[in-house]
Structure formats: C-alpha cells, structure tokens
Amino acid sequence: MTRLPVVILGAGPAGLAAAEAASANGQPVLLVDENPAPGGQIWRGGPPHWSDARAGRLWKALSARPQVKLLCGTRLVACGAPGTLLLDTDHGPRTLAWERLVICSGARELLLPFPGWTLPGVTGAGGMQALVKGGMPVAGKRVLVAGSGPLLLAVADTLQRSGAQVVAIAEHRSGAELARFGGRLALRHPAKLAQALRLFARLRRVPYLRGATVRAASGDERLLSAQLEQGGQVRDIECDFLACGFGLLPTLEIAGLFGCALAHGRVSVDLAQRTSIDGVWAAGESTGIGGVDKALAEGRIAGLAAAGMAASGAERRALASAQAFARLLAHSFAPTPAMRALCTPSTIVCRCEDVRAAELAPHASWRAAKLQTRAGMGACQGRVCGAACGFLYGWEAAGARPPVFPVSAACLASVAAP
C-alpha cells in the first residue's frame, strides 16, 4: 500500500489553508471531508456558493496543483494498523496509509436543554444557518434567533437574505456587557468591530433585545411560539422557527482516535500545531473556538510544518492576533451559570433516549448516569447530552468509541478482511 505523504482530515477553512501550504513545494496532499463539497460549515456549499474572497483564492491555488486530491463524501471510521485509516466512502470502505496527518475536524454547537427544545422547528443557530445554506426554504417564515454571541448576527443575516422574517435577535448578555466587548474590539480588533457594524446595519430593522433569554418553546406537533424573558418579564413570541446559539465546542472524536492529548476541551498543540502524537498536527476549531481567521492561520502553519517548512514571522503574528480574538470571545460570551436554570426537572436532556433532568440530577458522574438512565447511549454517543451535562452538572463525558459515527456492518467487516 502506497503511503500518502500528507493527509488532511477536514476541508473547511483550516483544511484548505493547510493543503495550500503543504502543497506549495510540490508535496502530494490528500484532503478528506465527509461533506459533498469542500468549505466546512463556515464556507458551506462548495466554491459556487462562496462569497469570502479568501476561500476563492485558496480554491484557485489548490485547483491549479495536480498533486492535491480531494476526497469528499468520506467519513473516518477508525484507525487500522499504525499509519492507516479506515474510511467509509460513497463507493464503500477504503483503507488509506499516511505518513503525516493534519486534523481539521471543526466544531459542533453547544445545545443547552430548555422546555420544548426538542420540538420540530427548534434548532441550533449554526444548524439553522447550515440548513438555509443547504437550500431549506425559509422565505416568509418567522424566525426568532436567540442565545449569545456574534454568531446570532451572522445567522440572522443569512436568514434575512434568504427571505425569512427575523422577528427578533435575543442576546442573553446585557447591554453593558456588550458595550465592554465592543470597546475591546475597537482597541484590539477594529476590523472585527467594522464587520459587526456592517451586520448591524443590514439588520437595522430587526429588534435586537439585550439581556433577553428564551425560557421555553411551545407547540403541539411543532413549534408555535417561544417564551422570552427580558427585564424580569416574560412574553410569548409567535414564530415558525427558533434558532438558539449558546456557543460552539471543538470536535474531538478524530483526535481521540489517534490518542492526541486534550486539555480544557480542545486538542493540545505546540507552536507548530503539532499534537502529542508523532506525525499528527491539528488546526482550526479543534484546538479552540476562534472563527475563520484563527482557522486559516493555524491551518497554514500546520500545513507548512507537515511539509517540513517553517512559518514566517508575519504568519505567527496573524495567528497571535486571531488567538487573542478567540480568547476575547470565550471570555465575553461563555454560557453563564444563570443558563442552568433554563433546564427544569421535566426537561429532556438526552433526546436520543428521552432521559429527563430529574432522572440525571441524583447521580454524581456521567458514568453513573449512563449506567442507570441510558443517557448518552443513543446514536450520537453523547455528543449533545454529554456537553449539556458537563455544563449542567460539571460532569466530564468520556469520548466516543470507534466507530465514532454510525456505519454499515459491511464497512466494519472490512477491518478484518485480508
């Protein structure tokens, strides 16, 4: 089996930047992504749908390099023998050998339980954005965007441009907290402030409610309204969709398969994005949530390192600035302890197995709760409820076991095939 010099898992901004950097000196590079087109969640839909000029420049450079190959619609199932991967592709299982690997696995949403959050029509904010970018019709639909952080503005902008009626943006943080965040942006990241102001300008007709929190979603077979609390008063807002954004979490399953060291809920890397495992680098949201600038900077440095090249001073300065912005975001918009009160005793926490908060509260750990209630035993292996329980009860959920995603028996059987 021929070993590929550089394999990059994930074709979002970090993966594309890593591929461009690693292939600049003629190095063969293979990009692997589970989506049907490159771009990840930030640049979703593939090149025809990209509006970010940086994405276009990267794709133009990669398309001109025959040594760069892209394998879409492909999911990593497990690690085989040392230096090999078992992949599940549209054409069946495939074993891949590699010499150096860059993990760009991205992030997933933090979903916090509240009464009615499992109703059809209630989604994560990022999930709603992905659905709209994927072609879901929302023209004329009433959408309430709620939660905390700059993602709410981006989602509302996507919805409005797609013809939806954004009835309100409900930001959990107070006006004073937002003003302090804006002041820090002005001092340290003026370009980010300008970007936010452009979003506000496009959303000027949408009510922007500060210190507002969704308490519950109501409906029979699907969402009809949401209860919003602001200034001690609760009111009903009729809506067809409720998009809630409480933050993002690094996706760690792939790094866990390789045994990469983790710390503070993210992959640990050095200044060259090298993980604790020899020959494995990581970049983007898997090393900490920070947005597209951080993903691009880390991806480039990881790609250079995987190809045996060093980053320049300018590239390191760009990364330092992006990481500083990431720390500011984490400090300004982390879920507050008050959000734990959203989950009532009768609220479903594990939606795969219908486990409610009252059944979980008596237990002292994630393991104890799983043994007694089946929380985290569903198809998602605790990806949603594990993070929620970490926030609600301070538990540390164990990582997913391989296969980390549902896969056919035929694919698993190929592991033992000669």
The domain limits of the chain are: 3-108+249-330, 121-245, 337-393
- Asked if the model's pLDDT at residue 134 lies above 80, the reply is yes
Look at residue 417 in the predicted model and tell me its pLDDT: 53
Look at residue 230 in the predicted model and tell me its pLDDT: 96
Q: Which residues does 369 contact at the CB level (< 8 Å), separation at least 6?
A: 355, 360, 363, 375, 376, 389, 395
The reply to whether 3-108+249-330 and 121-245 are identical in fold is yes
Q: Which of 15-24, 34-43, 219-228, 393-402 has the lowest mean pLDDT?
A: 393-402
Which among 349, 334, 346, 341 is positioned nearest to 387, based on CA atoms?
Answer: 349
Place of tokens 């292996």: 381
- pLDDT band at 416; cut points 50, 70, 90: low
Look at residue 403 in the predicted model and tell me its pLDDT: 78
Look at residue 1 in the predicted model and tell me its pLDDT: 60
Orientation of helix 190-202 relative to helix 151-161, angle to 10°: 40
- Asked if the model's pLDDT at residue 371 lies above 50, the reply is yes
Computed over every residue of the chain, the mean pLDDT equals: 93
Q: Which residue has the higher pLDDT, 78 or 404?
A: 78
Look at residue 90 in the predicted model and tell me its pLDDT: 82
First to last CA, the chain: 13
Q: Which residue has the higher pLDDT, 416 or 350?
A: 350
Which among 111, 229, 183 is positioned nearest to 332, based on CA atoms?
Answer: 183
Average pLDDT (44-58) is: 92
Average pLDDT (236-248) is: 97
Per residue in 291-323, pLDDT (tens digit) is: 999 999 999 999 999 999 999 999 999 999 999
Superfamily of structural domain 121-245: FAD/NAD(P)-binding domain (3.50.50.60)
- pLDDT band at 109; cut points 50, 70, 90: very high
Compute and round to an integer the Cα radius of gyration of the chain.
22
- Asked if the model's pLDDT at residue 144 lies above 50, the reply is yes
Q: How many CA atoms lie within 13 A of 193 on its CB side?
A: 14
Look at residue 418 in the predicted model and tell me its pLDDT: 44
Its CATH architecture, for the domain 3-108+249-330, is 3-Layer(bba) Sandwich (3.50)
Q: Which of 321-325, 377-381, 387-391 has the lowest mean pLDDT?
A: 377-381
- pLDDT band at 347; cut points 50, 70, 90: very high
Look at residue 47 in the predicted model and tell me its pLDDT: 92
- Asked if the model's pLDDT at residue 70 lies above 90, the reply is yes
